[in-house]
Amino acid sequence: MTGAHGLRARLLGIDTHAETVVFLRKDCSVCRSEGFTSHNRILLSAGDRHAIATLYQVESDFLNCVEAGLSDATWQALGVAEGDLITARHAPPVESLGLVRSRIFGHALDERAFGRIIPDIVAGRYSALEVTSFITACATKPLAQDEVCFLTRAMVGAGKRLDWHGQVIADKHSVGGLPGNRTTPIVVSLCAALGLMMPKTSSRAITSPAGTADTMETLAPVALDEQALRAVVGQEGGCIVWGGAMQLSPADDILIRIEHALDIDSEGQMIASILSKKIAAGATHLVIDMPVGPTAKVRGAAAADSLTAGLSAVAEAFGIRIKVMQGDGNQPIGRGIGPALEARDVLAVLQGRPDAPQDLRARALALAGGLLELCGKAPAGQGTILASTALDDGRAWSKFQRICAAQGGMRVPPQARHRRALAASHAGVLESIDNRRIARLAKLAGAPYAKAAGIELHVRLGDQIAAGTALCTLHAEAEGELAYALSYAEANPDIFGVT
């Protein structure tokens, strides 16, 4: 209604995550005539495609007066090519923001409200500040259980949903916060080998040194589309692929980025995040791995029990059978931290090698056993035993190799060129490992971008350590990253608590 102006699209190649941003010259005729100021929300149109973007005004020459400099997200949302004509005007009010404000001012939201807010977030109609405000409001006045259900349903509805035509679909999720703990490839191989259908979609790392998709990618291709996924699952009963191309609960990807930036994990949002992904993937039976420990994501028994109750209630509302399996979150599981290093742990367990990390083996067997029982493939209390036979007789390893082949061919995880052991400065008993800082150390060494980088642990809690014992080995692809991780390790000698 208030006019429109021609600008030329220019890709600035700026990564702002999901937030759509546009840069315009402060002195351009559009800014002057529209009365735009920085932080305004601007409706950009290119042909019949539209995107709302946050404006930053520019007063220097890297941009000229007829250019609209676009961030990556804006570029993709508009689907333009360099130099395409774009018009800009004030964005119309986003009506659902009134609902967010109403929640801030004390009112609970109903199903219709979440059903309007979430699609607007997915469509990019909210600025990052507005998403932040929504997340904070839902944490400060915690979501009631019905609100969690509404949010979950809205998140599922705002993306694609895989339909398995009434079949039993097994799934597994880890609440996270524990480095290593790469049970998924083992659990999928076991369950598929024992007759469950388990089309597992996983994420890449957001803040951790490796996501399941990062690790699996060192063993086989993971970027499959839905058709390819269905072909693998149809043939092998299971897969381990990256879910990012599937558009399952895309709202979750947006919310989780901002929750990480804020370091806020509210229980209600965590439940909606986990379950919306699983419902969208078509899960009917779900095992949740919940490590509990002082430096894990879930830090104590009270939080664990509350989250377990919440997950169970909401899963039930959606007709999903769920089993939450709390476990020891005091130290990493497995030896490797980082994509390839974790992949080698997975191979060692699947191949039944004597040097395989026993904690990883035990945790994977417990989770697979739980899932087998939940799906009625094993009597209560017998799941782990059933799983261990399929691991020991090579069926799981064989299944894993066939899944890798079906996904595009098995690969050998890369080895890092640069390694350095970290030695204990004094003798004693290993009393603690700081999960957060050991993850940080692995990231400084290059994980997850450098696939071979990370940490190889040589000790476990309770071990007697002599002075000079190697506690772990840093793996890096670049010498600079090795040096970098080393300096962090030197500055943080208490990552390993030896007393």
Q: Which residues are catalytic?
A: 265
Q: Does 6 bind a copy of itself (CB under 8 A)?
A: no
Q: Does 382 bind a copy of itself (CB under 8 A)?
A: no
Least distance to a copy of itself from the beta carbon of 448, Å?
Answer: 10
Alpha helices in 282-338 (DSSP H): 301-317
Interface pick for a copy of itself out of 50, 161, 257, 420 (rule CB under 8 A): 257
Cis before residue 448, ω within 30 degrees of 0?
Answer: yes
Q: Does 478 bind a copy of itself (CB under 8 A)?
A: yes
Kindly state the tokens that stand for 209. 């040194």
Q: State the Cα–Cα distance between residues 108 and 146, nearest whole angstrom.
A: 10
DSSP state of 333: B
Q: Does 289 bind a copy of itself (CB under 8 A)?
A: no
- Closer to a copy of itself by CB, 140 or 389: give it: 140
Q: Does 35 bind a copy of itself (CB under 8 A)?
A: yes
- Closer to a copy of itself by CB, 13 or 79: give it: 13
Least distance to a copy of itself from the beta carbon of 484, Å?
Answer: 5
Q: Does 481 bind a copy of itself (CB under 8 A)?
A: yes
Q: Does 154 bind a copy of itself (CB under 8 A)?
A: no
Q: Does 141 bind a copy of itself (CB under 8 A)?
A: yes
Name which of 220, 199, 193 is nearest 394 in CA terms.
193
Q: What are phi and psi of 36, to 5 degrees?
A: -70, 145
- Closer to a copy of itself by CB, 376 or 493: give it: 493
Bridging pattern class, strands 198-202 and 238-242: parallel
Q: Does 38 bind a copy of itself (CB under 8 A)?
A: yes
Q: Does 310 bind a copy of itself (CB under 8 A)?
A: no
Interface pick for a copy of itself out of 264, 309, 313, 470 (rule CB under 8 A): 264
What residues from 405 to 444 belong to the interface with a copy of itself (CB under 8 A)? 443-444
Q: State the Cα–Cα distance between residues 315 and 149, nearest whole angstrom.
A: 9
DSSP state of 144: P
Interface pick for a copy of itself out of 9, 42, 52, 58 (rule CB under 8 A): 58
Bridging pattern class, strands 21-25 and 6-11: unpaired
- Strand, helix or coil for residue 23: strand
Count residues binding a copy of itself (CB under 8 A): 65
Interface pick for a copy of itself out of 45, 87, 102, 136 (rule CB under 8 A): 136
What residues from 72 to 131 belong to the interface with a copy of itself (CB under 8 A)? 72, 97, 101, 103-106, 127-130
User: For a copy of itself, which stretch binds (CB under 8 A), given 260-268, 350-358, 383-391, 413-421?
Assistant: 260-268
Kindly state the tokens that stand for 443. 């990231």
CA 126 to chain CA mean position, Å: 21
- Closer to a copy of itself by CB, 129 or 223: give it: 129
Kindly state the tokens that stand for 454. 């990370």
Are the CB atoms for 86 and 41 separated by under 8 Å? no
Instruction: Indicate the length of the chain as a whole number.
Output: 499
Q: State the Cα–Cα distance between residues 333 and 157, nearest whole angstrom.
A: 35
- Strand, helix or coil for residue 410: coil
Q: How many CB atoms lie within 10 A of CB 66?
A: 15
**Amino acid, res. 406:** A
**Residue 241 Ramachandran class (φ > 0 left, ψ -120 to 50 alpha, else beta):** beta
Kindly state the tokens that stand for 19. 């937030």
Least distance to a copy of itself from the beta carbon of 458, Å?
Answer: 23
Least distance to a copy of itself from the beta carbon of 429, Å?
Answer: 27
Q: Does 262 bind a copy of itself (CB under 8 A)?
A: yes
- Closer to a copy of itself by CB, 50 or 141: give it: 141
Q: Which residues bind a copy of itself (CB under 8 A)?
A: 1-3, 11-17, 23, 26, 29, 32-35, 38-39, 56-60, 62, 71-72, 97, 101, 103-106, 127-130, 132-133, 135-137, 139-141, 257-258, 261-264, 266, 443-444, 446, 449, 478, 480-481, 483-484, 487-488, 491-492
